[in-house]
Amino acid sequence: MITSLECVPCLIRQAIDASRFSSSDYDFQERVLREMLKKLSETEFSLTPPEIAGEIHRKLRELSGNSDPYKSVKNSFNNLILSMTEKLKEKINRADDPLLAAMRLAIAGNVIDSGVKSGLTEDEVLKSIESSYSEELAGDAGDFIHELSLAKKILYIADNAGEIIFDRLLIEQIGPERVTLAVRGFPVINDATIDDARIAGLDKLVTVIENGSDAPGTILAECNDEFKRHFDEADMIIAKGQGNYETLCDENRKFFFLLKVKCHIISDHTGFPVGTHAIINSLPGIKGKQPAVKKSDAVPSPFTCRPIGIIHSEHKNSSETPIQPIYAEECGGYAEIFPEYADGLKDLDGFSHIYILFQLHKSGPVKLHVKPFLDTEIRGLFSTRAPSRPNPIGMSIVKLISVEGNRLYIDGIDMLDGTPIVDIKPYSARFDKIENTRNGWQDSVEEADAQKRGRRDYNKLIKTNES
């Protein structure tokens, strides 16, 4: 999940908070902020938010000489939740379904997140706990409970201090003997470390490992060998919180994400409203652990796509963006190609239309069965153009108006503003025009219905022959 422009204010706020925790000196706080703004201006936004946050907090610790600016915040919430543990255990044990009660509490505890909100109060935490007993869990709770009944090796990736004590209550219900708990390798924001796991008493209950990274998420490339071994051997992985979701949601591996949706970026990506307590199965169509594949089975290795540019369009919200270019006539804008790739635009201006391949960067979890926009029935993902794909790549054919420097001015944009571009190809009638096609289930859809659904909530008038 790449970083959105809307993530920037949150990253700046984190820098301000951390500087204040490190020193009361205003000049120091201002110097830190200026350094962080400079670093942000040089940062590649194709990284995940926790990758960028990790770089910022690394620099901040270097400037301040304080290895754990949030230590007092972490201790405060650890002490608060520890003081309530016995009462919470009683509540769980008296519940009709103790496992479900522990799941609700563990997700309610995800409110303790200094990366998302400054100045979280004890009252806010207590209200979250109290409301959790009646809070409906959105998503895949049934799948989660089913997979728990089958799993023999569970990797539980923790998120925040304080919250980790709620995690202990859930682990006690799951069965500690089959759980390995993973925490951050070094202090960052209020994320849980080995010290917090010990305060929670988890080191006496389960095997606790550090992931070797100082990012507020799980960046597999930065994790140590011990973490990777447990990651590979686990037949179920539970990951808490938004940072773990942001760094793991694009991995081709099954996860159960337990989190509270705390910002509209995650809301857009998951499809759940802000405030939702959710259990998200990243691969809902696949049961159990994915079978291991030997290298000799000739399965290609994963590869990384780096954006070559970005879309600038009038579309800010998914619900108001047309579904396909045919329904986006007169939706103009431009594709900005990054300078290092601009020379590749030579001769493109001779084509009337181009293909734009792009990342569906707000697509949410993979779903192998979907209800496409043209239909009311559930269809197989690969018979549709729905965005919730294993590899979230979209493709649109748009009209090329002009090429000006590294900008391609285009018409028929059905892409959100800020969409990363993966590739550009010319449309060629010689190669691409196909006569006598079959269109599967789409042939049964009336064109008037398709037009209406395809425009979604976009408010410009449809251009017709009568106009």
Residue 115 contacts residue 12 (beta carbons within 8 Å): no
Q: Does residue 152 carry a pLDDT above 60? A: yes
For the segment 427-450, the average pLDDT, to the nearest whole number, is: 86
pLDDT value at residue 306: 86
Is 309-455 CATH 3.40.50.10710?
Answer: no
Q: Where are the domains of the chain?
A: 5-64, 71-281, 309-455
In the block, which residue shows the tokens 């995800």?
A: 110
pLDDT value at residue 466: 33
Kindly report, residue by residue over 173-202, the tens digit of the pLDDT: 999 999 999 999 999 999 999 999 999 999
| Candidate CATH numbers 3.40.640.10, 3.20.20.70, 3.40.50.300, 3.40.50.10880; the one for domain 71-281 | 3.40.50.10880
Degrees, nearest 5: CA angle 145-245-110: 70
pLDDT value at residue 172: 96
Radius of gyration of the chain (CA): 24
pTM as predicted: 0.64
Contacts of 335 (CB under 8 A, 6+ apart): 309, 310, 311, 312, 356, 407, 408, 410, 421, 424
What does the alpha-carbon distance between residue 463 and residue 294 come to, in Å, rounded to a whole number?
54
pLDDT value at residue 464: 37
130: burial class by Cβ within 10 Å (0-12, 13-18, 19+)?
exposed
What does the alpha-carbon distance between residue 284 and residue 366 come to, in Å, rounded to a whole number?
7
pLDDT value at residue 455: 63
Report the amino acid identity of residue 324: Q
% of the chain at pLDDT higher than 70: 91
In the block, which residue shows the tokens 């290795």?
A: 301
In the block, which residue shows the tokens 């290609």?
A: 300
Read off the tokens for 382.
Answer: 């690969």
Read off the tokens for 463.
Answer: 């251009």
Read off the tokens for 104.
Answer: 């609700």
